Amino acid sequence: MNNPLLKLSQRIGYTFNDEALVMLALTHRSKGGTNNERLEFLGDSILNFIIADDLYRRFGQAKEGKLSRLRARMVKGQTLAVIAREFELGDFLLLGSGELKSGGHRRESILADTVEALIGAMYLDAGMDVVRERVLSWFDSRLAALTLEDPIKDPKTRLQEHQQANKSRLPHYEVLNVEGPTNEQVFTVECRIPEHAEPVVAQGPSRRAAEQSAAALLLAILGLDDVAGEEE
Protein backbone atom coordinates (compact mmCIF):
# COMPACT_ATOMS: atom_id res chain seq x y z
CA MET A 1 0.00 0.00 0.00
CA ASN A 2 1.42 3.39 -0.97
CA ASN A 3 2.27 6.01 1.66
CA PRO A 4 -0.83 8.26 1.29
CA LEU A 5 -3.12 5.25 1.72
CA LEU A 6 -1.11 4.17 4.74
CA LYS A 7 -1.85 7.55 6.32
CA LEU A 8 -5.53 7.16 5.50
CA SER A 9 -5.57 3.68 7.04
CA GLN A 10 -4.08 5.05 10.24
CA ARG A 11 -6.70 7.80 10.41
CA ILE A 12 -9.76 5.63 9.82
CA GLY A 13 -8.40 2.66 11.77
CA TYR A 14 -8.67 0.17 8.94
CA THR A 15 -6.27 -1.22 6.32
CA PHE A 16 -7.87 -2.43 3.11
CA ASN A 17 -6.97 -5.86 1.77
CA ASP A 18 -8.05 -4.74 -1.70
CA GLU A 19 -6.37 -1.42 -2.51
CA ALA A 20 -8.58 -1.02 -5.58
CA LEU A 21 -11.64 -0.71 -3.34
CA VAL A 22 -10.29 2.19 -1.31
CA MET A 23 -9.09 3.95 -4.45
CA LEU A 24 -12.57 3.59 -5.92
CA ALA A 25 -14.14 4.93 -2.73
CA LEU A 26 -11.98 8.05 -3.00
CA THR A 27 -12.78 8.70 -6.67
CA HIS A 28 -15.37 11.41 -7.25
CA ARG A 29 -17.58 11.35 -10.34
CA SER A 30 -15.82 14.48 -11.61
CA LYS A 31 -12.89 12.23 -12.51
CA GLY A 32 -15.13 10.58 -15.10
CA GLY A 33 -15.63 6.90 -15.80
CA THR A 34 -15.68 4.58 -12.80
CA ASN A 35 -16.32 6.45 -9.55
CA ASN A 36 -17.54 6.00 -5.98
CA GLU A 37 -21.29 6.54 -6.52
CA ARG A 38 -22.18 2.84 -6.30
CA LEU A 39 -20.11 2.42 -3.14
CA GLU A 40 -21.78 5.53 -1.73
CA PHE A 41 -25.21 3.97 -2.36
CA LEU A 42 -24.15 0.79 -0.57
CA GLY A 43 -22.45 2.60 2.29
CA ASP A 44 -25.47 4.83 2.91
CA SER A 45 -27.69 1.77 3.48
CA ILE A 46 -25.12 0.07 5.70
CA LEU A 47 -24.57 3.21 7.78
CA ASN A 48 -28.30 3.67 8.32
CA PHE A 49 -28.63 0.05 9.45
CA ILE A 50 -25.66 0.16 11.84
CA ILE A 51 -26.82 3.38 13.49
CA ALA A 52 -30.45 2.20 13.64
CA ASP A 53 -29.38 -1.08 15.25
CA ASP A 54 -27.24 0.72 17.84
CA LEU A 55 -30.02 3.19 18.70
CA TYR A 56 -32.56 0.38 18.98
CA ARG A 57 -30.37 -1.37 21.54
CA ARG A 58 -29.22 1.82 23.29
CA PHE A 59 -32.71 3.29 23.83
CA GLY A 60 -34.95 0.36 24.71
CA GLN A 61 -37.97 2.51 25.56
CA ALA A 62 -37.79 5.00 22.68
CA LYS A 63 -40.61 5.11 20.16
CA GLU A 64 -40.06 4.80 16.42
CA GLY A 65 -40.39 8.53 15.74
CA LYS A 66 -37.73 9.47 18.27
CA LEU A 67 -35.37 6.77 17.01
CA SER A 68 -35.83 8.01 13.45
CA ARG A 69 -34.98 11.56 14.45
CA LEU A 70 -31.88 10.48 16.37
CA ARG A 71 -30.71 8.38 13.44
CA ALA A 72 -31.27 11.27 11.03
CA ARG A 73 -29.12 13.46 13.25
CA MET A 74 -26.29 10.91 13.19
CA VAL A 75 -26.27 10.12 9.45
CA LYS A 76 -26.96 13.57 7.99
CA GLY A 77 -24.42 15.12 5.64
CA GLN A 78 -23.20 17.68 8.15
CA THR A 79 -22.25 14.97 10.66
CA LEU A 80 -20.50 12.87 8.02
CA ALA A 81 -18.60 15.89 6.74
CA VAL A 82 -17.34 16.62 10.27
CA ILE A 83 -16.11 13.03 10.54
CA ALA A 84 -14.44 13.37 7.14
CA ARG A 85 -12.65 16.51 8.31
CA GLU A 86 -11.51 14.74 11.46
CA PHE A 87 -9.83 12.20 9.16
CA GLU A 88 -8.58 15.03 6.89
CA LEU A 89 -10.22 13.02 4.13
CA GLY A 90 -9.98 15.89 1.68
CA ASP A 91 -6.26 15.19 1.35
CA PHE A 92 -6.99 11.84 -0.30
CA LEU A 93 -9.88 12.64 -2.66
CA LEU A 94 -9.45 11.97 -6.36
CA LEU A 95 -11.22 14.84 -8.10
CA GLY A 96 -11.53 16.14 -11.63
CA SER A 97 -9.72 19.35 -12.50
CA GLY A 98 -12.85 21.45 -12.22
CA GLU A 99 -13.64 20.23 -8.72
CA LEU A 100 -10.03 20.68 -7.69
CA LYS A 101 -10.04 24.30 -8.80
CA SER A 102 -13.35 25.03 -7.08
CA GLY A 103 -12.23 23.53 -3.77
CA GLY A 104 -14.15 20.28 -4.01
CA HIS A 105 -11.89 18.65 -1.41
CA ARG A 106 -13.52 20.97 1.15
CA ARG A 107 -17.12 20.65 -0.06
CA GLU A 108 -19.41 19.17 2.57
CA SER A 109 -21.46 17.03 0.19
CA ILE A 110 -18.37 15.46 -1.41
CA LEU A 111 -16.79 14.72 1.98
CA ALA A 112 -20.01 13.17 3.30
CA ASP A 113 -20.47 11.04 0.19
CA THR A 114 -16.90 9.79 0.45
CA VAL A 115 -17.42 8.65 4.04
CA GLU A 116 -20.39 6.59 2.84
CA ALA A 117 -18.32 5.21 -0.04
CA LEU A 118 -15.57 4.15 2.37
CA ILE A 119 -18.15 2.35 4.50
CA GLY A 120 -19.38 0.51 1.41
CA ALA A 121 -15.83 -0.36 0.45
CA MET A 122 -15.00 -1.66 3.94
CA TYR A 123 -18.10 -3.86 3.86
CA LEU A 124 -17.04 -5.42 0.56
CA ASP A 125 -13.47 -5.79 1.79
CA ALA A 126 -14.09 -7.32 5.21
CA GLY A 127 -17.80 -7.88 5.91
CA MET A 128 -20.40 -6.51 8.29
CA ASP A 129 -18.74 -7.28 11.64
CA VAL A 130 -15.63 -5.29 10.76
CA VAL A 131 -17.48 -2.34 9.24
CA ARG A 132 -19.87 -2.21 12.21
CA GLU A 133 -16.95 -2.01 14.65
CA ARG A 134 -15.28 0.77 12.66
CA VAL A 135 -18.41 2.83 12.12
CA LEU A 136 -19.41 2.64 15.78
CA SER A 137 -15.91 3.71 16.79
CA TRP A 138 -16.19 6.76 14.51
CA PHE A 139 -19.56 7.66 16.02
CA ASP A 140 -18.82 6.60 19.60
CA SER A 141 -18.67 10.01 21.26
CA ARG A 142 -21.64 11.30 19.27
CA LEU A 143 -23.81 8.31 20.13
CA ALA A 144 -22.78 8.49 23.79
CA ALA A 145 -23.87 12.14 23.92
CA LEU A 146 -27.41 11.39 22.74
CA THR A 147 -30.31 11.37 25.18
CA LEU A 148 -34.05 11.00 24.70
CA GLU A 149 -34.41 14.45 26.22
CA ASP A 150 -32.41 16.10 23.43
CA PRO A 151 -34.41 19.08 22.20
CA ILE A 152 -35.65 19.00 18.64
CA LYS A 153 -34.76 22.37 17.19
CA ASP A 154 -37.52 24.50 15.78
CA PRO A 155 -37.91 24.84 11.98
CA LYS A 156 -36.42 28.36 11.77
CA THR A 157 -33.29 27.26 13.63
CA ARG A 158 -32.89 24.12 11.53
CA LEU A 159 -33.33 26.05 8.28
CA GLN A 160 -30.84 28.71 9.36
CA GLU A 161 -28.26 26.10 10.38
CA HIS A 162 -28.74 24.29 7.08
CA GLN A 163 -28.06 27.50 5.14
CA GLN A 164 -25.02 28.30 7.26
CA ALA A 165 -23.62 24.80 6.85
CA ASN A 166 -23.95 25.11 3.08
CA LYS A 167 -22.46 28.62 3.08
CA SER A 168 -25.63 30.03 1.55
CA ARG A 169 -27.61 33.19 2.32
CA LEU A 170 -29.77 33.05 5.41
CA PRO A 171 -33.57 32.81 4.99
CA HIS A 172 -35.34 36.13 4.44
CA TYR A 173 -38.75 36.56 6.07
CA GLU A 174 -41.26 39.25 5.17
CA VAL A 175 -44.73 39.96 6.54
CA LEU A 176 -47.13 40.22 3.61
CA ASN A 177 -50.35 40.86 5.47
CA VAL A 178 -51.95 41.10 8.91
CA GLU A 179 -55.71 40.58 9.20
CA GLY A 180 -58.29 40.45 11.95
CA PRO A 181 -58.86 42.19 15.28
CA THR A 182 -55.98 42.58 17.70
CA ASN A 183 -56.73 39.43 19.70
CA GLU A 184 -57.41 37.28 16.61
CA GLN A 185 -54.80 38.46 14.12
CA VAL A 186 -53.60 36.24 11.30
CA PHE A 187 -50.12 36.94 9.96
CA THR A 188 -49.15 36.02 6.41
CA VAL A 189 -45.40 35.67 5.96
CA GLU A 190 -43.19 34.70 3.05
CA CYS A 191 -39.76 33.11 3.30
CA ARG A 192 -37.09 33.14 0.59
CA ILE A 193 -33.83 31.24 0.14
CA PRO A 194 -31.57 31.20 -2.93
CA GLU A 195 -31.99 27.45 -3.47
CA HIS A 196 -35.75 27.75 -4.07
CA ALA A 197 -36.87 30.17 -6.77
CA GLU A 198 -40.38 30.78 -5.46
CA PRO A 199 -41.04 32.19 -1.99
CA VAL A 200 -42.93 30.01 0.47
CA VAL A 201 -45.98 31.61 2.08
CA ALA A 202 -47.50 30.57 5.41
CA GLN A 203 -49.89 31.92 8.03
CA GLY A 204 -50.01 31.93 11.80
CA PRO A 205 -51.53 33.69 14.84
CA SER A 206 -48.28 35.64 15.31
CA ARG A 207 -45.38 36.70 13.15
CA ARG A 208 -43.13 34.13 14.81
CA ALA A 209 -45.64 31.32 14.32
CA ALA A 210 -46.07 32.21 10.65
CA GLU A 211 -42.28 32.31 10.14
CA GLN A 212 -41.93 28.91 11.81
CA SER A 213 -44.61 27.48 9.50
CA ALA A 214 -42.89 28.94 6.44
CA ALA A 215 -39.54 27.51 7.53
CA ALA A 216 -41.16 24.10 8.08
CA LEU A 217 -42.57 24.18 4.55
CA LEU A 218 -39.14 24.97 3.12
CA LEU A 219 -37.54 22.18 5.13
CA ALA A 220 -40.07 19.79 3.62
CA ILE A 221 -39.35 21.07 0.12
CA LEU A 222 -35.61 20.60 0.71
CA GLY A 223 -36.18 17.08 2.02
CA LEU A 224 -34.97 18.03 5.49
CA ASP A 225 -38.13 17.43 7.47
CA ASP A 226 -37.05 13.92 8.54
CA VAL A 227 -35.98 15.26 11.91
CA ALA A 228 -39.07 17.38 12.38
CA GLY A 229 -42.31 16.45 14.03
CA GLU A 230 -43.82 16.34 17.45
CA GLU A 231 -42.06 14.65 20.31
CA GLU A 232 -43.10 11.05 20.89
State the Cα–Cα distance between residues 51 and 28, nearest whole angstrom: 25
State the Cα–Cα distance between residues 93 and 29, nearest whole angstrom: 11
State the Cα–Cα distance between residues 85 and 161, nearest whole angstrom: 18
**15 CB burial (10 A radius; 0-12, 13-18, 19+):** middle
SS3 of 202, please? Answer: strand
Instruction: Please tell me which residue in 44, 99, 113, 125 is annotated as part of the active site.
Output: 44
Instruction: Please tell me which residue in 40, 116, 125, 190 is annotated as part of the active site.
Output: 116
Catalytic site includes residue 211: no
Catalytic site includes residue 54: no
φ, ψ of residue 35 to 5 degrees: the values are -145, -170
Degrees, nearest 5: CA angle 171-199-197? 95
Catalytic residues: 44, 116
